[in-house]
Amino acid sequence: MTAESGVVLAKTAGFCPGVKKAIDRVLELAQAGKQPIYTLGPLIHNTQVIEMLEQKGIRAVETLAEVPAGAGVIVLRAHGVTPELEAEVRALGLEVVDATCPLVKRVHSVIGQCAARGYATVIVGDKGHAEVTGLFGYAGKEAYIVAGPEEASKLPALGKVNIVAQTTQEEDVFRRTVEVVRSKARETVVSNTICKPTRDRQRETSELAGAVDLMIIVGAKHSANTARLTTLCRRLCPGTVHVETDEELDAGTVRAARRVAITAGASTPSWMTDRVLERVKKVRSREASSARTLLERALEFLIDSCAYAGLAAVGLTYVCMKLQGCRTDDRLLVMAGLFVFSLHIINRVAQKGGVAADSRKAALVHRLRRPLTVTAVASGLGTMGLALYLDGKLFAVVFLCWILGALYPFRSLRGLTGLIEFPGSRDIATALGWGFVCAYLPGLYQGIIFTKANYLAVLFAILLVFIRSVLLGLSAVHSDLIVGRENFYKALGPRTTYATLAGIQALLVGILVLLLAMGWKGRLVGALLCGDLIFVAGSVLCYAKGVTKGFWAEIGVDGQFLLLALLTWLSGKF
């Protein structure tokens, strides 16, 4: 957990693995162009996430009658369904994708196996909840649903009984219910099917609630696991509040508390929890100033508008010019900035908010889709117009690469997804695109391509931008933003990702140290080595402190290029 100004954020807050898997699955379907996509009931119990999925063309339906005949995909949601309903779904003849949480499917198996051996089933859970309804469907003829020990005491005398739990049930409630059921049954099998993420979350939440004055639970009001967390906390901390968004927080309550802890249900994305955390910090901070707020808003605008990415491209282009011995040409700097700026906007609009957007930003992008598209196209035309003014062959190359970059987000519409949708494809494509415009084009314009210095600059740019793209993707995943397997971290996992990043950084440092030892452009190489080591040290420190997501993480990642540009400029002055 992390603590700051008397505020503690639970480590277990955020999506559970089953929810992550379900969301990733439907996103991959949308990215593959398999429309329309329907989920049988809300995929998860979170209004903001469901709204975001709707923006991406993924619609929740309550009954099969709402699904039009013809093409489309039906997704079985994370909570699971009864075997009878699943059979109905498959009988429609449409493509069916099972996004049921693996831990819920395990409970289906446990219930089915015991029912086949003649055991009655007692489910400790919430009657009417989607998961419990699905579990009940696997229990055979004799099955009961009880919310806790009080309802269990009303059960009739039983023979052989298998007792299971809704995966998000409270441990103490399940344990006490089991004792009551045992007193009514001749033989019992106890299957504690509360999932490990739930147990870990409840354990940490109990520890926090017993040590603070204000406990804030973030999540949908209709989420069963979030409601249980709230009930659990209120027994230990009378000052417990349950909010869906940061706007529901009462500033007076937050200021009055000496110690505050924040956690969230399994269906609550981390970006919602982060908003609550930031709101709490701002309310409690006595040092917050209007100037600081204005600066943060300005920086946030630069990031959300993609202007910050454009500035980063300008900085990297300047570095690559100096590295390969090009004359500094402001027109090439502007061209690189516009190229990156326009394509990043197109990608964000195409992704209805992109990986760096929560539901608010996704909704904003959706509302501003037309002006954003106009801005992107105008910037792209400016890029090509400037290239045409500079050189005909430069224009031809820029035009081709800009068109390819602009079409990349729409590849599914042309059936090209299978050809270029490999793990980490977005990060690799981004690195190649930036390397082309920031390093190759200046060399092409000034007639020094296919030289050792040009190769070095292109390689330097590609490696740096690949690191940048992976780190931003890592930030998105850690914030529970909706990303797919074209994200390197999501596709290959943390071990491979961190090993790859470490290997690339070691290669970069090794190259710079070798060049420094050879005496090649010593001041410039020394400045770049210094800047890279500062960035590595900062990244390691942020990782150690758990700062791998959010606003300031994005500032730091693209800020490395501005830092390198500044050090490059200084190396030529002193």
**Do 550 and 483 share a domain, yes or no?**
yes
Q: How far is CA 248 from CA 7, 159, 241, 412, in A?
A: 18, 49, 10, 39
Mean pLDDT lowest among 156-160, 299-303, 334-338, 497-501: 299-303
- The domain that holds 34 is classified in CATH as 3.40.50.11270
Sort strands 120-124 and 143-146 into parallel, antiparallel or unpaired: parallel
pLDDT on residue 362: 64
User: What does the DSSP 8-state code read for residue 153?
Assistant: T
Q: From residue 266, how far is each of 81, 192, 202, 506 by CA, in Å?
A: 19, 19, 11, 37
User: Is 181 in contact with 161 (CB distance < 8 Å)?
Assistant: yes
The verdict on 358 and 488 lying in the same domain is: yes
**What pairing do the DSSP bridges indicate for beta strands 95-98 and 143-146?**
unpaired
Backbone angles phi, psi at 158, to 5 degrees: -125, 155
The pLDDT of residue 291 is 58
Give the pLDDT confidence score for residue 421 in this predicted structure. Answer: 57
485 to 406, 428, 489: CA distances (angstroms) = 20, 12, 8
Question: Within this chain, do residues 212 and 352 fall inside the same structural domain, yes or no?
Answer: no
Give the strand pairing for 185-191 and 240-243. unpaired
The length of the chain, given as a count of residues: 574
What is the pLDDT at residue 25? 86
| 226-269 tens-digit pLDDT | 998 999 999 999 999 999 988 899 989 998 999 999 999 988 88
Same domain, 137 and 272: no
Residues 305 and 222 in one domain: no
What is d(CA 206, CA 234) in angstroms, rounded to the nearest whole number?
10
364 with 494, same domain: the answer is yes
Kindly name the residue from 86, 131, 244, 486 that is annotated as catalytic: 131
The string of pLDDT tens digits covering residues 271-319 is 888 889 988 988 887 545 555 667 777 888 888 889 999 999 999 999 9
Local structure of residue 65 (DSSP, 8 states): G
Peptide bond connecting 156 to the previous residue in cis, omega within 30 degrees of 0:
no
Stretch among 241-245, 489-493, 501-505 having the lowest mean pLDDT? 489-493
Boundary-marking domain end, from 36, 70, 101:
101
| pLDDT attached to residue 356 | 38
Return d(Cα 463, Cα 520) in angstroms, integer: 20
pLDDT digits (tens, 9 = 90+) for 510-568: 999 999 999 999 999 999 999 999 999 998 888 777 666 667 788 899 999 999 999 99
Rounded-to-integer distance, Cα 442 and Cα 69, Å: 55
277 and 394 part of one domain? no
H/E run at residue 97: strand 95-98
> Is residue 131 annotated as part of the catalytic site, yes or no?
yes
What's phi and psi for 264, nearest 5 deg? -155, 160
DSSP per position, 520-568: TTHHHHHHHHHHHHHHHHHHHHHHHTT--SSHHHHHHHHHHHHHHHHHH
Instruction: Tell me what the mean pLDDT of segment 407-432 comes to.
Output: 68
Regarding whether 348 and 244 lie in a shared domain, the answer is: no
Instruction: Among 266, 288, 310, identify where a domain stops.
Output: 288
pLDDT digits (tens, 9 = 90+) for 74-111: 999 999 999 999 999 999 888 999 999 999 999 999 99
Phi, psi of 195 (to 5 degrees): -75, 155
What CATH code is carried by the domain that includes residue 140?
Answer: 3.40.1010.20
Domains of the chain: total: 4
- Residue 236 sits in which domain range? 2-13+198-288
Question: Are the beta carbons of 454 and 448 closer than 8 angstroms?
Answer: yes
80 and 109 fall within a common domain: no
Task: Find how far residue 395's CA is from the centre of its chain.
Answer: 37
Burial class (CB in 10 A: 0-12, 13-18, 19+), 252: exposed
Does residue 115 have a pLDDT over 70? yes
**Do 248 and 224 have their domain in common?**
yes
CA distances from 556 to 365, 382, 541, 562 (A): 24, 28, 12, 10
Residue from 535, 406, 516 nearest 467 by CA: 535
What tokens appear for 109 in the block?
A: 């198996």
Residue 437: DSSP 8-state: I
pLDDT at 330 over 50: yes
CA nearest 168: which of 124, 198, 128? 198
Q: Could you say which of 81, 101, 121 is where a domain stops? A: 101
Residues 515 and 505: beta-carbon distance below 8 Å:
no
pLDDT mean across residues, the chain: 87
Q: Tell me how far apart the alpha carbons of residues 522 and 230 are, in angstroms, rounded to a whole number.
A: 61
Q: Does residue 482 carry a pLDDT above 60?
A: no
Note the pLDDT of residue 516. Answer: 93
Looking at the fold, whether 127 and 8 belong to one and the same domain comes out as no
Same domain, 356 and 383: yes
Count CB atoms within 10 A of the CB of residue 230: 21
Q: Which of 367 and 146 is assigned the larger pLDDT? A: 146
